[in-house]
Amino acid sequence: MQVTSPVRAPLVTSGKKLHDVTNDICKQVEGKPTKLWIVAFTISVLLLLYGCFCLYKTWTVGLGVWGLNRTIGWAWDITNFVWWVGIGHAGTLISAVLLLFRQKWRTSINRAAEAMTIFAVFCAGSFILMHVGRTWLAHWCLPLPNTYGSLWVNFNSPLIWDVFAISTYLSVSILFWYVGMIPDLATIRERATGISRTVYGALSFNWSGGAKDWQRYEQVSLILAGVSTPLVLSVHTIVSMDFATSVIPGWHTTIFPPYFVAGAIFSGFAMVLTLMLVTRKVFKLEDYVTVNHIESMNKIITLTGSIVGVAYITEFFIAWYSGVEYESYCFINRATGPYWWAYASMMTCNVISPQLFWFRKIRRNIAATFVISIIVNIGMWFERFVIIVSSLHRDYLPSSWTMFYPTMYDIGDYIFSFGLFFTCFFLFAKYLPVINMAEVKSILKSSSVNNNKS
């Protein structure tokens, strides 16, 4: 089924054999936690604990602990929400779309990318719950039967579309990730003894490794990939509609759906790179996540970064071309008003920095990739901040114009999401197989260095 050319560089290096793959990946799960892991995990948990304190204050005292005001009703909360959802998109793209396109290089990175998706959606979800004034009633956003004369949700509201989009996304992503992990969990079970054998046995749903098991597994994977693929486009399209369907200049923009989707993939790939570059180093997985993988991802970053850049310019053109007073002011204010620094950061990080990847040396350089991947994510955070805050702070009536100043709780609740994300990610990295062993083995024959000996 898979056509390979001897001209292509191998995807797995150092002549790994099937058994080496199992050893290299299971080693992390079976061994004692490394010192580095313990340090990193402790920091994550501390961040999470501090974040929990800030979150506790936010929920018990009120949203007034944030810097929001009567003019700017969303700021860091929704910026963080959109940012995290966007980051999640890369996981789905890598596992679903690249699977359908038979991109074999995805096998080494899809597991970690999917895990990242799920944890990022957790973080995004926590901001949905946080930004609500009465979180204890957030379930009213679900169309549940009730005693209020059966009062339904407002299906006109983009926030309701969000609820459906994000919850679908989370459930499909978890399913996809978990189903893909079952054969690997069985591999770990086979090597384990005692209590961990029982635990991994239960987690692997008694996977037998028989032909029928594999056949069903392949079918389910393909179906889930088919279900996930439209989600790559739909989730961020719907998130963008929170803004696009409104009347606020700077939000009311029809190019938002494709622009947001491109931005999501852009930031998601950057995050996958940040995480994978660290993971491959710490867990010594350089033979599985090779420079070729990094280069492929950098190419996607350059493409999506350029799409985003074109979108920024298009917005300006339309603001001028429309002749709408409020629209043109909004964009002039964005670039030259009190938030010019946020706009300048966004432009530098998102449009200029990924263009460096046109140089082969830079896109194959691990240190440079790492730095740019972080810059891209800073830029994408600023993009959402610029869209949300710079549009709201000066809208129609100048009498209400004001500024947003973050407080320690705005920052603390953002830290909470980092704590949550990294705690989850480190637990995953230690106790679950970070690379899809079964799928890597499937490409070993065609894409390894000693492809005839394995």
Partner 1 sequence: MEFGVTKIASLKANGVSIDIPVLVQPGQAPDTVGIAIGYGREKVGKAGNNVGVNAYPLLSVAKGIVNYSVTSNVDVKSSEIEYKLAMTQTHQTIMGRDIVQESNLKEYKKNPAAGRHFPTVATADGAVGATTLSMWEMRERNNHSWGMVIDLNSCIGCGACVISCQAENNIPVVGKDEISRSRDMYWIRIDRYYTSDMSHEVAEKENVNLVDMYHQMEDPSENPQVVFQPMMCQHCNNAPCETVCPVVATTHSSEGLNQMTYNRCIGTKYCANNCPYKVRRFNWFRYTENEAFDFHMNSDLGKMVLNPDVTVRARGVMEKCSMCVQRIQEGKLNAKKNNRRPIDGEIVTACAQACPTDAIVFGDMNNGESEIFKLLEREHKKRMYYVLEELNVRPSVSYLSKIRNTEA
* Minimum CB distance to partner 1 smaller for 207 or for 256: 256
Q: Determine, following the binding rule CB under 8 A, whether residue 58 of this chain makes contact with partner 1.
A: no
Which 242-271 positions form the footprint of partner 1 (CB under 8 A)?
242, 245-248
Closest separation between CB of residue 74 and partner 1, Å? Answer: 6
Distance CA 236, CA 259 (A): 9
* Minimum CB distance to partner 1 smaller for 35 or for 139: 139
Q: Determine, following the binding rule CB under 8 A, whether residue 131 of this chain makes contact with partner 1.
A: yes
In terms of Cα–Cα distance, which of 81, 86, 118 is closest to 262? 86
Distance CA 263, CA 309 (A): 9
Residue 302 and residue 357 in contact, taking contact as beta carbons nearer than 8 Å: yes
Would you give the binding string for partner 1 spanning residues 135-154, x where CB under 8 A is met? Answer: --xx-xx------x--xxxx
The token pair at 165 is: 């989009």
Distance CA 12, CA 17 (A): 10
Closest separation between CB of residue 27 and partner 1, Å? Answer: 47
Residue 228 and residue 92 in contact, taking contact as beta carbons nearer than 8 Å: yes
Q: Determine, following the binding rule CB under 8 A, whether residue 313 of this chain makes contact with partner 1.
A: no
Distance CA 364, CA 382 (A): 27
Instruction: For residue 166, give Cα distances in angstroms to 86, 148, 238, 437.
Output: 11, 26, 9, 29
Q: If 0-12 CB within 10 Å is exposed, 13-18 middle and 19+ buried, where does residue 416 land? A: buried
Closest separation between CB of residue 79 and partner 1, Å? Answer: 13
* DSSP conformational letter for 135: G
Q: Determine, following the binding rule CB under 8 A, whether residue 402 of this chain makes contact with partner 1.
A: yes
Number of residues that bind partner 1 (CB under 8 A): 55
Q: Determine, following the binding rule CB under 8 A, whether residue 168 of this chain makes contact with partner 1.
A: no
Binding residue (CB under 8 A) for partner 1 from 49, 325, 355, 408: 325
Instruction: For residue 321, give Cα distances in angstroms to 127, 237, 255, 315, 347.
Output: 36, 24, 15, 10, 21
Closest separation between CB of residue 388 and partner 1, Å? Answer: 9
Q: What are phi and psi of 37, to 5 degrees?
A: -65, -45
Q: Determine, following the binding rule CB under 8 A, whether residue 327 of this chain makes contact with partner 1.
A: no
Closest separation between CB of residue 226 and partner 1, Å? Answer: 30
Residue 260 and residue 85 in contact, taking contact as beta carbons nearer than 8 Å: no
Q: Determine, following the binding rule CB under 8 A, whether residue 56 of this chain makes contact with partner 1.
A: no
Binding residue (CB under 8 A) for partner 1 from 24, 315, 327, 395: 395
Q: What are phi and psi of 17, to 5 degrees?
A: -105, 175
* Minimum CB distance to partner 1 smaller for 123 or for 241: 241
Q: Determine, following the binding rule CB under 8 A, whether residue 397 of this chain makes contact with partner 1.
A: yes
Residue 246 and residue 218 in contact, taking contact as beta carbons nearer than 8 Å: no
Would you give the binding string for partner 1 spanning residues 181-220, x where CB under 8 A is met? Answer: ----------------------------------------
Residue with tokens 């290096």: 13
Binding residue (CB under 8 A) for partner 1 from 392, 420, 435, 444: 392
Closest separation between CB of residue 67 and partner 1, Å? Answer: 7
Looking at the DSSP assignment, which residues form a beta bridge with residue 135?
none
Binding residue (CB under 8 A) for partner 1 from 400, 442, 446, 451: 400
Please tell me whether residue 12 adopts helix, strand or coil conformation: strand
Q: Determine, following the binding rule CB under 8 A, whether residue 63 of this chain makes contact with partner 1.
A: yes
* Minimum CB distance to partner 1 smaller for 58 or for 353: 58
Q: Determine, following the binding rule CB under 8 A, whether residue 69 of this chain makes contact with partner 1.
A: yes
Q: Determine, following the binding rule CB under 8 A, whether residue 227 of this chain makes contact with partner 1.
A: no
- Provide the binding-site residues for partner 1, judged by CB under 8 A: 61-64, 67-74, 131-134, 137-138, 140-141, 148, 151-154, 156-160, 163, 242, 245-248, 325-326, 328-329, 332-333, 336, 392, 394-403, 405
